[in-house]
């Protein structure tokens, strides 16, 4: 029997999860955090997560409970990033010195550097100005796919607020260069591309998405993230051989549900 298209299969997987919430489906911590963040914009999923007794950190990301207190970033980087995200996504402002300390603690960390930098940008106009200046320099370093570079972090963390100030041809070049960061986003399940898909170069993004969708590397949900980015960007991807796994479908279903609320 032919497999259903990824969107249909993802919608069905999300409907099943919402009807019968299962904490075991979120055993991978990166998946749990990503699904929780998307649930804030998908009320049926948010209600399903509320039944599971998940940790306060995850419930805060989902908007089920109040934002968690801001810890010392040097003591617990994951808790600090999640706390910062829960504050910003609830509409609260972050103290700029705390956000600067968070980015400093996360620098070089492939999982936390981009979200920490994004939180710093949200808290500090000076950080936004620094990225605008850095990204105006028309010189791009080579970055191995799956790795990060300070300039690439600036672009991923600030494209939606900085790119409109750049020359359009240079902006296109930057957008194409950024697409190679998709494997690192898959590894982190960080939703880095979620706020910036409209600023990416379609051709470069399509090539990166095809590779990402075919790859079996990364945590459960990694291929679902690639399909979620593709759906948000309006890029069509062929179904992978054998279809997507349960974690991929859950993440994609959550992303599609969240996107319908835009």
Domain residue spans in the chain? 6-259
pLDDT tens readout for residues 88-145: 999 999 999 999 999 999 999 999 999 999 999 999 999 999 999 999 988 899 888 7
Phi (first) and psi of residue 230, to 5 degrees? -60, -45
User: Which residues are CB-neighbours of 209 under 8 A, at least 6 positions away?
Assistant: 182, 226, 229, 230, 235, 237
Q: What are the structure tokens assigned to 111, written together?
A: 């999982």
Binning pLDDT at 50, 70 and 90, where does residue 247 land?
very high
Contact of 31 with 219, CB cutoff 8 Å: yes
The reported pTM is 0.93
CB-based contact 43:254 (threshold 8 Å) = no
Q: How sure is the predictor about 209, in pLDDT bands with cuts at 50, 70 and 90?
A: confident
* Structure tokens, 98: 């705390």
CA atoms within a 13 Å half-sphere pointing along the CA-CB vector of 239: 15
Cβ–Cβ < 8 Å for 197, 206:
no
Q: How far apart are CA 38 and CA 254, in angstroms?
A: 6
Which ranges of the chain does DSSP label H, i.e. alpha helix?
6-19, 29-39, 43-50, 56-62, 77-89, 96-106, 113-123, 125-136, 150-162, 168-178, 182-188, 202-214, 222-233, 246-259
Q: Is the model's pLDDT at 202 over the cut of 80?
A: no
What does the H/E/C string look like for 180-198?
HHHHHHHHHCCCCCHHHHH
Measure the CA–CA gap between 83 and 67, rounded to whole angstroms: 6
Question: Is residue 2 over pLDDT 70?
Answer: no
Token pair 């009320």 in the structure block, residue: 43
pLDDT band at 22 (very low <50, low <70, confident <90, very high): very high
Cα–Cα distance, 238 to 213 (Å, whole number): 9
Contact in structure between 218 and 247 (CB atoms under 8 Å) = no
H or E, element range at 23: none
Asked if the model's pLDDT at residue 27 lies above 50, the reply is: yes
Query: What does the pLDDT look like over 213-246, one tens digit per residue?
Result: 888 889 999 999 999 999 988 888 888 878 899 9
- The pLDDT score that the predictor gives to residue 261 is 59
pLDDT at 69: 95
Residue 4 has pLDDT above 60, yes or no: no
CA distance 257 to 262: 10
State the pLDDT confidence band at 3, using cuts at 50, 70 and 90.
Answer: very low
Opening angle at CA 215, ends 211 and 220, nearest 5: 130
Which pLDDT belongs to residue 260? 80
* pLDDT for 1 beyond 70: no
Are 41 and 260 contacting, i.e. CB atoms less than 8 angstroms apart?
A: no
Q: Which residue carries 């300390």 as its tokens?
A: 101
Q: How far is CA 141 from the centre of its chain?
A: 23
């Amino acid at each position: 029997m032919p497999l259903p298209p990824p969107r249909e299969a993802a919608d069905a997987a999300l409907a099943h999860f919402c009807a019968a919430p299962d904490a075991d489906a979120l055993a991978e911590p990166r998946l749990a955090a990503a699904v929780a963040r998307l649930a804030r914009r998908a009320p049926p999923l948010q209600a399903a997560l509320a039944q599971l007794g998940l940790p306060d950190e995850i419930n805060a990301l989902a908007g089920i409970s109040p934002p968690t207190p801001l810890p010392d970033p040097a003591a617990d980087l994951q808790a600090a990033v999640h706390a910062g995200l829960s504050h910003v996504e609830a509409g609260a402002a972050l103290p700029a010195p705390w956000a600067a300390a968070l980015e400093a603690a996360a620098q070089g960390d492939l999982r936390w550097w981009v979200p920490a930098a994004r939180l710093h940008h949200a808290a500090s106009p000076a950080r936004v100005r620094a990225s605008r200046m850095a990204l105006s320099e028309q010189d791009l370093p080579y970055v191995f796919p799956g790795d990060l570079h300070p300039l690439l972090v600036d672009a991923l963390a600030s494209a939606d607020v900085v790119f409109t100030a750049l020359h359009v041809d240079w902006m296109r070049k930057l957008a194409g260069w950024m697409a190679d960061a998709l494997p690192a986003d898959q590894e982190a399940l960080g939703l880095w591309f979620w706020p910036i898909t409209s600023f990416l170069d379609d051709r470069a993004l399509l090539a990166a998405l095809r590779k990402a969708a075919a790859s079996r590397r990364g945590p459960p949900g990694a291929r679902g993230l690639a399909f979620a980015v593709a759906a948000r960007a309006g890029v069509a991807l062929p179904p992978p051989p054998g279809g997507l796994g349960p974690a991929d479908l859950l993440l994609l279903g959550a992303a599609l549900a969240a996107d319908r609320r835009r």
